[in-house]
């Protein structure tokens, strides 16, 4: 009788909706604990932290993606071929770690920053759109690791944090040859020993950068490390390409130093740096020239008399007002010009000549406004000229400078 009752009770339970609900809830819990937690990077999805409670990947890396999103990175002029090559390697299934090889100052870091900017704009293949570019700070990683084991623990925690985010993180290691030397206390493992297993298993994706000399001395002899990277050659840009780079970034230095650069100064910076500064490479040495010349002209300009400065401030206030008016006038004229250009495509021949005349008039007015704006700025802002660049080069090399 008891058996019959128990059999009836069990069959009734199995056929009930309550049993189905229990199965669904159990399945959901299993999915959460065994899949979601694993995907989020460990127990409870918590990232390793420093002693101060800061996420370890934030303490020892620089977030280039965040800087790109906040427009804090300088524009990258040229280098489209190298950027495309790096992107192709990053999207490979295996051996997807690019290694930028080139002399100091040719723009290896700028290429990685260019990739971060492209990711921020969404101008990359689909599998890279969600990636974050983090630049490893080896100095802070090693700093303060006095006792054996401290450095390894710190590096392993960082590696674990990045591995748990491997689907979204690209780690940039500038001066990558230093990972063969970077270690904490005597007898500690170096960075290379710690990250090679993660690279070999595809748990870590990295972009390295180093010079040919350091590559030959440190990376190439370590076959296990060398095999994980695909080389991307970054040559020194030509003088013409270097001039384009200076023209593309000059506004950043103009804003920083509150000066203007005339075109001849940029040309002379490239020419003289190529001719007289032999131990460095373009475009870095030319950029340093315009930077220092901008600082010099800005400081000299600030040493004017108080009376002159007072006049300059007063004039500057009026100039800003005038420029704002001119900008608004220019915007209105350009809007009207755009409308007239569209109108040309739809109106009949008798009215066409009148519209063309109006278009030419507006274009002339816009050109006049641009000239007045330029004259106003040049009249109140110190200008870096070719002679200023020559003086800096003369100071650097200690001899007379001739410009061809």
Closest CA to 385 of 297, 256, 257, 303: 297
Based on its alpha-carbon atoms, the radius of gyration of the chain, rounded to whole angstroms, reads: 31
Name the token pair of 374.
Answer: 């330029």
Task: Determine the topology of domain 239-404 in CATH.
Answer: Helicase, Ruva Protein; domain 3 (1.10.8)
Q: Is the pLDDT of residue 253 over 90?
A: yes
Confidence of residue 35 (pLDDT cuts 50, 70, 90): very low
Q: Is the pLDDT of residue 400 over 70?
A: yes
pLDDT (0 to 100) of residue 34: 40
pLDDT (0 to 100) of residue 3: 46
The model's pLDDT over 116-140, given as tens digits with 9 standing for 90+, comes to 999 999 999 999 999 999 999 888 8
Phi and psi angles of residue 231, each rounded to the nearest 5 degrees, phi first:
-70, 140
List the chain domain ranges.
56-233, 239-404
Helices (H), 50-168: 56-59, 64-69, 80-90, 108-121, 138-142, 150-164
Name the token pair of 131.
Answer: 């990636």
Which segments of 260-393 are extended strands (E)? 260-261, 383-384
The second-level CATH assignment, the architecture, of 56-233 is 3-Layer(aba) Sandwich (3.40)
Token pair 């005038």 is found at 322
* Mean local confidence (pLDDT), 297-306: 73
The model's pLDDT over 46-95, given as tens digits with 9 standing for 90+, comes to 545 545 445 666 678 999 999 999 999 999 999 999 999 999 999 999 89
The model's pLDDT over 83-125, given as tens digits with 9 standing for 90+, comes to 999 999 999 998 999 999 999 999 999 999 999 999 999 999 9
Do 56-233 and 239-404 fold alike per CATH?
Answer: no
Q: Is the pLDDT of residue 295 over 80?
A: yes
Task: Report how far residue 103's alpha carbon sits from residue 338's, in angstroms, rounded to the nearest whole number.
Answer: 47
The model's pLDDT over 199-239, given as tens digits with 9 standing for 90+, comes to 888 888 999 999 999 999 999 999 999 999 999 999 999 99
Q: Do 153 and 183 meet the contact criterion of CB atoms below 8 Å apart?
A: no
Q: What is the mean pLDDT of the chain?
A: 78
């Amino acid at each position: 009788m008891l058996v019959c009752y128990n059999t009836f009770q069990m069959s009734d339970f199995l056929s009930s909706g309550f049993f189905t609900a229990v199965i669904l809830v159990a399945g959901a819990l299993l999915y959460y604990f065994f899949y979601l937690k694993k995907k989020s990077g460990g127990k409870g999805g918590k990232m390793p932290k420093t002693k101060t409670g800061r996420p370890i990947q934030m303490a020892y890396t620089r977030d280039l993606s965040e800087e790109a999103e906040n427009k804090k990175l300088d524009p990258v002029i040229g280098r489209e071929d190298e950027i495309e090559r790096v992107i192709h390697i990053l999207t490979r299934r295996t051996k997807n770690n690019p290694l930028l090889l080139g002399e100091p100052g040719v723009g290896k870091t700028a290429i990685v920053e260019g990739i971060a900017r492209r990711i921020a704009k969404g101008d990359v293949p689909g599998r890279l759109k969600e990636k974050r570019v983090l630049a490893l700070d080896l100095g802070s990683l090693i700093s303060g690791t006095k006792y054996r084991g401290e450095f390894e623990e710190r590096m392993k925690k960082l590696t674990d944090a990045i591995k748990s985010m491997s689907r979204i993180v690209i780690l940039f290691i500038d001066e990558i040859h230093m990972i063969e030397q970077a270690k904490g206390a005597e007898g500690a493992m170096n960075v290379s020993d710690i990250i090679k297993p993660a690279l070999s298993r595809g748990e870590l994706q990295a972009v390295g950068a180093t010079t040919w000399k350091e590559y030959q001395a440190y990376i190439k002899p370590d076959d296990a490390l060398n095999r994980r990277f695909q080389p991307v050659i970054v040559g020194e840009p030509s003088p013409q390409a270097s001039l384009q780079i200076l023209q593309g970034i000059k506004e950043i230095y103009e804003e920083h130093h509150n000066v203007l650069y005339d075109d001849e100064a940029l040309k002379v910076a490239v020419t003289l740096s190529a001719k007289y500064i032999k131990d460095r490479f373009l475009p870095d040495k030319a950029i340093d020239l315009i930077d220092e010349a901008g600082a010099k002209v800005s400081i000299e300009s600030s040493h004017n008399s108080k009376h002159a400065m007072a006049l300059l401030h007063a004039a500057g206030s009026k100039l800003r007002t005038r420029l704002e008016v001119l900008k608004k006038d220019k915007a209105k004229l350009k809007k009207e010009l755009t409308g007239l250009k569209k109108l040309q495509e739809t109106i009949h021949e008798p009215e066409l000549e009148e519209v063309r005349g109006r278009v030419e008039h507006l274009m002339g007015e816009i050109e006049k406004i641009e000239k007045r704006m330029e004259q106003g700025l040049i009249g109140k802002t110190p200008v870096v000229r070719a002679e200023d660049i020559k003086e800096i080069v003369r100071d650097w090399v200690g001899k007379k400078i001739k410009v061809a």
